[in-house]
Amino acid sequence: MTLPPAPAATPVVVLVEPQMAENIGTTARAMANFGLSRLRLVAPRDGWPNAKAYPAASGANRVLDEAELFDTLEEAIGDLTYVLATTARQHDQAKPVLGPREAVGELVTRIGGGAEVGVIFGRERNGLLNGEVALADAILTYPVNPDFSSLNLAQAVLVLGYEWFTQARGGVLPYGAPHGSEPATKAQMLAFFRSLETSLHRVEFFRPPEKREGMVINLRNIFQRMALTRQDVATLHGVVTALAEGAQGPARGGTLTPDGAEALRNFLADSTRGLTGGTAPIRGISRLIRRNPTEAEKALWEVLVKDRGFAGRGFKRAVPIGPHVADLVSFDERVVVDFEPHTQGDAAAGRREEKRVWLAERGYRIIIMEARVVEADPPAALEDLRARLAVLPPPSR
């Protein structure tokens, strides 16, 4: 967020006979917090300049360095055209009495017209005298607890500074909430609902069956009210998947090394037709493969699930499609990503080609990625996948 520039002109802060250099320092700090830089001192008790003020200023040295010293209040405000006197006591003088918001509004308006304005603050112990208040055009007082209305000098200046900075800059905060993910699309929400409801159905959540429809509607409305982003839905997808698949899901891998996982795939292709049209229990095989990802599968999956551009595209790992297991698949987009392994026998290569043909005949678009290339640079491989997805022909159904 870019803040508007600080106003070129600011009110003058006038301290009448401040008693301690440390109080001058904390006042300078409060001024610097809110863009006030013009400080005038009237007969400070311990003299000026005073080294004790600087540690209390916590770095607001410029305000102290440029502070002006005067012998009398009359001299300190002599060049000003509009002055406020701050006091918590009623002085019974025929002057406007303003709160901080109204008073600063008056200062902003007058400064905008080119006037020189100032605010007078009194002594720490007993404030301003009647004769000093009489020099002001109006009285500034704060809405404080009447049973305990005493503010120290820096606090009083801080209230003024806060109101000044707020009005002079239009109340703009220095920063806002970070830009989040884009709102989730309805297609992404529906894909999440299908995943959630499928998982709940498997554990017999929808009981009794005749209440399923109402329970589904209630669940969907809960998530719809949340105004989820794409990233939110992607995260929820991951939560549901992890709960459904247990501790050995794709995020953690299984018990095999990456080389062992690749050997498993080749073994299954060589020794059975479970991956290419046979009668092996395909769902059990897909779970085994999912829990033991190859290095390429794990590397690409890790960057894919963190990329906002892929949120909502519905990609899943090691999912059965008919008699086959797809390395990566998006049913929403009818896309299968198939990894070309480092090594494979002729039989395994033949089975893999049969799988690709079978999927293509059923309208799936096939993207082949070499495992070696993916492992070498997963982010580059993801960008390659993104580019290839962008130029795919429309799916045939």
Extract the runs of DSSP E, i.e. beta strands, from 5-95.
Answer: 12-16, 38-42, 68-70, 82-86
- Supply the pLDDT for residue 309: 86
The residue among 168, 193, 217 that closes a domain is 168
Number of domains forming the structure of the chain: 3
Average pLDDT over residues 150-169: 93
Residue 101 lies in a domain: yes
The closest alpha carbon to 303, from 237, 383, 360, 212, belongs to 383
Residue 62 lies in a domain: yes
Q: What gap in Å lies between CA 301 and CA 171, rounded to an integer?
A: 45
Q: What's the pLDDT tens digit per position in 302-312?
A: 999 888 888 88
pTM reported for the whole predicted model: 0.52
Q: Place 7 in a pLDDT band, splitting at 50, 70 and 90.
A: low
- Mean pLDDT of the residues in the chain: 86
Residue 221: φ, ψ to 5°: -65, -35
CA distance to 8, 101, 116, per residue, from 108 (Å): 12, 11, 11
Residue 5 and residue 132 in contact, taking contact as beta carbons nearer than 8 Å? no
CATH number, position 235? 1.10.8
The residue among 125, 142, 168 that closes a domain is 168
Residue 235 lies in a domain: yes
Residue 243 scores a pLDDT above 90: no
Number of Cβ within 10 Å of residue 261's Cβ equals: 23
- Range in 94-98, 232-236, 264-268 with the lowest mean pLDDT: 264-268
Q: Tell me which residue has tokens 């989730």.
A: 184
Residue 250 scores a pLDDT above 50: no
Q: What's the pLDDT tens digit per position in 130-156?
A: 999 999 999 999 999 988 888 899 999
Q: Tell me which residue has tokens 């089975």.
A: 351
- Supply the pLDDT for residue 253: 44
Q: What spatial distance separates the first Cα and last Cα of the chain, rounded to whole Å?
A: 47
Q: Which amino acid is at 92?
A: D
Residue 338 lies in a domain: yes
CATH number, position 277? 3.40.960.10
Q: What's the pLDDT tens digit per position in 311-326?
A: 888 899 888 888 888 8
78: domain range? 12-168
Same domain, residue pair 374 and 317: yes
Q: Place 252 in a pLDDT band, splitting at 50, 70 and 90.
A: very low
- Supply the pLDDT for residue 4: 46
